[in-house]
Amino acid sequence: MNTTEIKEWLREVEHPAKGDKNIAELGMIENIEIVDGKVAVTLAFEKHRDPLAEYLIGSTKATIIRHAGPGTQVEVKTVIRNEAPKKKPGLDLGFEELENVKHVIGIASGKGGVGKSTVSVNLAVALARLGYKVGLADADVYGPSVPKMTATEAEMPDAFQEGEKEVIMPLEKYGVKWMSIGYFAKPEQALIWRGPMACNALKQMILQVRWGELDFLLIDMPPGTGDIHISLVHDIPLEGAVIVSTPQDVALADVEKGVNMFRNESVKKPIFGLVENMAWFTPAEHPDERYYIFGQGGRLRMAEKYQIPLLGQIPIVQSIREGGDNGEPAALSSRPDGLAFIALAEKLAETLK
């Protein structure tokens, strides 16, 4: 017995749903092997659930045994091929899910580490505390932080098919609707996403989510000012942006890049204002003291040079960092740092009235 012979025998196995053509002429024999006297045949099917698969597997076995003699060991494996490729999600997404969202606002920063995500999460919570309906899409594909900052890492958003489209339900906590790429990808996976793939992923996190009725949808944008941002501001109906920075001059140089990005000819989106994070340090035991450890001149120069209003100032305090680490945003509290976020939220809401 050799594989050519076996292939000949298998011409007797006919597919009843294909005009009685046999599995050899239908090209369904993917592979035949004989190992230690055992025959292993792999049959290829076009569909996941060919209703005749079991019948064809049995018939293949029986035919080989009939020719090779009783006691012949036969194993039949199956593979699926030529399945119509699934439509890539995230490509042709419309704006339907944003129809009932009043303001879509990007939270941007010229570089990472200035507290953009901290400000986004706390601003969302603060707006909710003021009674607004708020959602936050964590579009920071390179370092999603919403799951950790809201202690929802263990949760998985529901998703369902609606016609051609897959819809994702946001999670709800602290009165805010949250969505993050972090719920779907492990941190090390997120890092390998490049260019178009990252763009599609983050568009899904915004356009495929059933946000429902919202006053504000905040988009925590990836840090920096690369291609991904240009693509994002083109593909998402952003109304405008809020820029987060720290007071150091170096950080301000990066703010300039961010400002130029939004004011670029091809983008032209308004900048609603600047949030100065880590504006001063207040020791926990002396709540009335303010130490301007990073200086104070920067924001004034910024305001003058670019005519960008200052929307808020957030102190650098341990409770904000701790709130981020243990998933209880500082904006939930009535401490001075919590109130700083409330003041920021009030100012933003007023600006957008």
Q: Is the Cβ–Cβ distance between 78 and 45 less than 8 Å?
A: yes
**What secondary structure letter does DSSP report for 136?**
E
> How far is residue 194's CA from residue 289's CA, in Å, rounded to a whole number?
45
**Footprint of ligand ADP on 144-203 (CB under 6 A):** 145
Size of the site for ligand ADP (CB under 6 A): 18
> How far is residue 190's CA from residue 183's CA, in Å, rounded to a whole number?
11
Pairing mode of beta strands 214-220, 101-108 = parallel
Cβ proximity to ligand ADP: between 116 and 177 the closer is 116
The residue among 126, 144, 132 whose CA lies nearest residue 101 is 132
Q: What is each CA distance from 279 to 108, 116, 335, in whole angstroms?
A: 17, 14, 16
Cβ proximity to ligand ADP: between 134 and 317 the closer is 317
Among the residue ranges 17-25, 27-35, 82-90, 106-114, the one whose residues contact ligand ADP (CB under 6 A): 106-114
User: Which residues share a beta bridge with 178?
Assistant: 136, 171
What is the nearest approach in angstroms of ligand ADP to the Cβ of residue 48?
A: 42
Q: What is each CA distance from 261 to 108, 221, 232, 279, 309, in whole angstroms?
A: 10, 13, 12, 24, 17
Site string for ligand ADP, 6-45 (x = CB under 6 A): ----------------------------------------
> How far is residue 229's CA from residue 139's CA, in Å, rounded to a whole number?
10
The residue at minimum Cβ distance from ligand ADP is 115
Instruction: Pick the binder of ligand ADP from 90, 106, 110, 115 (CB under 6 A).
Output: 115
Instruction: Pick the binder of ligand ADP from 10, 108, 114, 331 (CB under 6 A).
Output: 114
Site string for ligand ADP, 42-81 (x = CB under 6 A): ----------------------------------------
Contacts of 13 by beta carbon, 8 Å cutoff, 6+ apart: 22, 23, 24, 56, 59, 60, 63
Instruction: Pick the binder of ligand ADP from 324, 338, 341, 348 (CB under 6 A).
Output: 324
Cβ proximity to ligand ADP: between 119 and 236 the closer is 119
* DSSP letter string, 161-184: EETTEEEEPPEEETTEEEEEGGGT
Strands of 74-80's sheet in order across: 29-35, 38-45, 74-80
Site string for ligand ADP, 223-262 (x = CB under 6 A): x---------------------------------------
Among the residue ranges 26-34, 107-115, 171-179, 299-307, the one whose residues contact ligand ADP (CB under 6 A): 107-115
What is the nearest approach in angstroms of ligand ADP to the Cβ of residue 260?
A: 19
H/E element, 323: helix 318-326
> How far is residue 30's CA from residue 61's CA, in Å, rounded to a whole number?
15
What is the nearest approach in angstroms of ligand ADP to the Cβ of residue 103?
A: 21
Cβ proximity to ligand ADP: between 255 and 278 the closer is 278
What is the nearest approach in angstroms of ligand ADP to the Cβ of residue 325?
A: 6
Q: Which residues bind ligand ADP (CB under 6 A)?
A: 109, 112-118, 145, 223, 277-278, 314, 316-317, 320-321, 324
